[in-house]
Amino acid sequence: MSMKKIFSILLRSAVYAVAAILIGLSLGFAVLQTKWAKNRLQDFVVKTAEAKGVHVEIAPIEGRIPFHWNLKKLSFTIPEIAIVDIENIKVRLALLPLLVAACAPAKVDVVKKTT
């Protein structure tokens, strides 16, 4: 096999690999937009908070997950410390920290909060 043919095969394989990764990411983001995925995420947050001893109630999650979240009602109780009710909270996440598995809010807007 000539060097040119080997290079052609490697280049073609790299292009297919990149295309497969992009298709996989697109499908993943599409699944995150479904009501089922948003409900699973909501359940995960509630169960994780309950395991830490914090009671959380969340209205259905809206927005374009994972970048833009809109919670119409968020209520959490930390026993013997505080009770917080938030009527509307909007969170936007930065893209680059997500790529390295970190979560960094780019913007957080709290419309109404009562404690």
Q: For the chain, which residues make up each domain, given as ranges?
A: 1-32, 35-114
How much is the pLDDT for 16? 96
pLDDT per position as a tens digit, 64-101: 777 777 888 888 787 777 777 777 777 776 666 656 66
Q: How far apart are CA 36 and CA 6, in angstroms?
A: 45
How much is the pLDDT for 89? 78
What's the mean per-residue pLDDT of the chain? 79
What's the average model confidence in pLDDT over 56-70?
Answer: 79
Structure tokens at 95: 């893209």
pTM for this entry: 0.62
The pairing of strands 55-58 and 74-78 is antiparallel
